[in-house]
Amino acid sequence: SQTIHQWPATLVQPVGSPLSLECTVEGTSNPNLYWYRQAAGRGLQLLFYSVGIGQISSEVPQNLSASRPQDRQFILSSKKLLLSDSGFYLCAWSLPHNSYNSPLHFGNGTRLTVT
Amino acid sequence: RKEVEQDPGPFNVPEGATVAFNCTYSNSASQSFFWYRQDCRKEPKLLMSVYSSGNEDGRFTAQLNRASQYISLLIRDSKLSDSATYLCVVNIYSSASKIIFGSGTRLSIRP
């Protein structure tokens, strides 16, 4: 069966520091991968999605970036965090792009507080 | 205009009541639809997919109206454990699956 791992669960970082969040999926090949952010009391905002290694689509301009160095690994990064980057970051996967009825499956999320 | 819109609520209903949520989407190319449930400070979890003919899973019924670009969720005989935020989700499938969430509708069931 498929599993998704996301770490760390919580993170407190000072403004201006770098960020690296990692997500890995097991038990499936060539998944679609996603990063979402949820600010306190708000909905999920799609940040990035990827249909394959090195293929990243960005949804909103910001100081975040994403990379997919391996098929089942998705990394969210920032060179310099802002206070507004605080939130609940969720990684998710779905079946490859030709399976459009595939729902998303989420990791447990990372709660990031920028101080 | 937001791609997926929901009434934020909160809906506060007594146990045993029937409650309905609505959701509209703006992109007519949207291909697939889902309802998710999110508990406080947790990740969203799939509640059910939404099919064109409508579908039911126990006390939950989902409907899709493609002409009106409208999705609904009906919960019958609500339980205290149904208290959560319900998220409408749309897959705008073109060359890749771009999956967009509504901002969610909060439901609180009171004894």
Query: What CA–CA distance (Å, rounded) separates B16 from B110?
Result: 9
Instruction: For residue range B64-82, list pLDDT tens digits in order.
Output: 999 999 999 999 999 999 9
B43's tokens: 């990740």
- Of residues B59, B58, B50, B57, the one with CA closest to residue B22: B50
**Across the interface, do A42 and B102 touch by the CB < 8 Å criterion?**
no
**pLDDT tens figures, B50-59:** 988 889 999 9
pLDDT of residue A61: 65
The mean pLDDT of chain A is 92
- B32 CB neighbours in chain A (<8 A) are 100-101
The answer to whether residue B91 neighbours chain A at the CB level (below 8 Å) is yes
Q: Is the dihedral of CA B88, A46, A100, B68 positive or negative?
A: positive
A43 CB within 8 Å of a chain B CB:
yes
| A115 pLDDT more than 70 | yes
Distances, alpha carbon A55 to alpha carbons A48, A70, A71, A75, in Å:
10, 11, 10, 12
Kindly list the residues from chain A whose CB atom is less than 8 angstroms away from the CB atom of residue B91.
100-101
Question: Is it the case that residue B62 has pLDDT exceeding 70?
Answer: yes
- pLDDT tens profile B14-46: 999 999 999 999 988 888 899 999 999 899 999
CA separation for the pair B24, B64 (Å, rounded):
10
For A58, which residue in chain B has the nearest alpha carbon? Answer: B98
pLDDT at B8 over 70: yes
Strands A73-78 and B70-75: unpaired
Interface of A with B in 47-86 (CB under 8 A): 49, 51, 57, 59
Strands (E), chain A: 3-7, 10-13, 19-26, 32-38, 44-52, 55-58, 64-70, 73-78, 87-94, 105-106, 110-114
Q: How confident is the model at residue B1 (pLDDT cuts 50, 70, 90)?
A: confident
Q: Are A68 and A52 in contact (CB under 8 A)?
A: yes
What does the alpha-carbon distance between residue A33 and residue A51 come to, in Å, rounded to a whole number?
7
Considering only the beta carbons, identify the residue of B31, B42, B46 that sits closest to A103: B46
Mutate which of A101, A110, A111, A112 to disrupt the B interface (most B C-beta within 10 Å)?
Answer: A101
Q: List chain B residues with CB under 8 Å of A51.
A: 95-97
Q: What is the pLDDT of residue B52?
A: 87
CA angle B87, B89, B92 (to 5 degrees): 165
Residue of A nearest to B86 (CA): A43
B31 in contact with chain A, both atoms CB, cutoff 8 A: yes
